[in-house]
Structure 1
Amino acid sequence: MRILIVSDSHGEEALLNRIVKREEADHVIHCGDFCTDQSRLPAVSLTVVRGNCDWEPVPEEQQWDGGAWRFFVVHGHRHHVNSSLLSLRYRAEKVGATIACFGHSHYPLCEQSGNILLINPGSITQPRGFAVPTYTVLEDVDESRVSIRYFTPSGEVVTERGGTFSLKPAQK
């Protein structure tokens, strides 16, 4: 399974659509701050949450089961991700997620905490604290490992982020 994870596109729907088309993912996760009408989001298999700059009536958080993994998706502002990831991790644990996707900080991050993989794809338009805009592609390696790769909006690999992570499948 190939999953595209993006965040903080801030109204750049043409750029978002180009990325979605190029990556040909089985599913797309948008972690909020899409800042456009929901009807203008890509017409693909999509999980989307509302960020602090969004006005559309989409959920504040969502869970999505993809393959062996349960994803917990939020924007992150209500979990105060700019100061700590602890609240996000606890909420992901509570809902039985193995992968927590979030945005808000515009900073690409991928780290494992116990059996939870925390992923911030960065921002495809306005990076903060990182040299280039980014998004993430997650792919199953096998039933217990996932590969995370970061890319620039033009499709170039960002080698200083990502990796392969071992996780126990979600209890569903």
Structure 2
Amino acid sequence: MKLFFISDIHGSLYYLNKAIEAFHMEKAAQIVILGDALYHGPRNPLPKDYNPKEVASILNSLKGKIIAVRGNCDSEVDQMVIEYPMMADYSFILCNNRRIFLTHGHIFNVDNPPKLTGNDVLVHGHTHIPVAEKTKDFYLINPGSISLPKENNPNTYGILENNKFKIKDFQGNIVKSIILE
């Protein structure tokens, strides 16, 4: 199964539409949203085409294909307009005999990891910086941000297929990748 990962939409209709185009182009089965869907947060600039109401509408149209966790900019009022569960601080999925721990990154991250083993994967957003690496204890993945990338990175999303995680920009270029052995 092919999984599509996005994080840090921050209410950008423009970049959500780009991500949904990429999701369909990639022919992925599910969209994993790693938090910060609607609100831009007080530390961030307004993203391009900031329209949380329309972002919610588009995401709701795909609710059967979404697995989501709460980001630090997501609130209970957001859950009132979102039609899929999105308020958990973390979630697990099992894929190819490994646990994939999904979280936003403001609670669990490389400096405060959950209890994982060598084959497990910690996937989070929050930093807006793409990462694909093996630590001594687990794999660490961050697909970056689709709307507000940092440190001169491009707008990115992630794809997991056949134990290979690729982080791509919207032109289809691979920014980072890792094989989950």
Q: TM-score, with normalisation over the residues of structure 1?
A: 0.77
Aligned mates of 1:30, 1:122 — CA distance in 2? 12
Deviation at 1:115, TM superposition (A): 5.3
Q: Does 1:61 align with 2:76?
A: no
Which of the numbers 153, 165, 169 marks the counterpart of 2:170?
Answer: 153
In the alignment, what sits opposite 1:4? 4
Q: Does 1:132 align with 2:132?
A: no
| Structure showing the higher strand proportion among its residues | 1
Q: Which amino acid aligns with 2:73?
A: C
- Structure 1 window deviating more from structure 2 (44-53 vs 105-114): it is 44-53
Q: Is the CA contact (8 Å cut-off) linking 1:108 and 1:130 kept in structure 2?
A: no
Q: Which runs of 5+ in 1 are unaligned?
A: 141-145, 167-172
Which of the numbers 99, 106, 112 marks the counterpart of 1:87?
Answer: 112
In the alignment, what sits opposite 2:66? 46
Aligned mates of 2:11, 2:107 — CA distance in 1? 21
Aligned mates of 2:136, 2:68 — CA distance in 1? 25
Structure 1's consecutive aligned runs of 4 or more residues displaced over 6 angstroms after TM superposition are none
Q: Does 1:101 align with 2:123?
A: yes
Q: Is the CA contact (8 Å cut-off) linking 2:129 and 2:153 kept in structure 1?
A: no
Q: Which amino acid aligns with 2:92?
A: Q
Deviation at 1:113, TM superposition (A): 1.9
Deviation at 1:61, TM superposition (A): 1.0
Give the direction of change, closer, same or farther, for the CA distance of 1:34–1:164 in structure 2 (3 Å limit): same
Q: Which runs of 5+ in 2 are unaligned?
A: 39-51, 80-86
Deviation at 1:87, TM superposition (A): 1.0
Q: Does 1:26 align with 2:49?
A: no
Q: Is the CA contact (8 Å cut-off) linking 1:92 and 1:98 kept in structure 2?
A: no
CA RMSD of aligned residues (A): 2.3
Aligned mates of 2:92, 2:57 — CA distance in 1? 21
State the percentage of identical aligned residues: 26
Q: Is the CA contact (8 Å cut-off) linking 2:92 and 2:100 kept in structure 1?
A: yes
Give the direction of change, closer, same or farther, for the CA distance of 1:75–1:19 in structure 2 (3 Å limit): same
Aligned mates of 1:97, 1:117 — CA distance in 2? 7
Q: Is the CA contact (8 Å cut-off) linking 1:107 and 1:130 kept in structure 2?
A: no
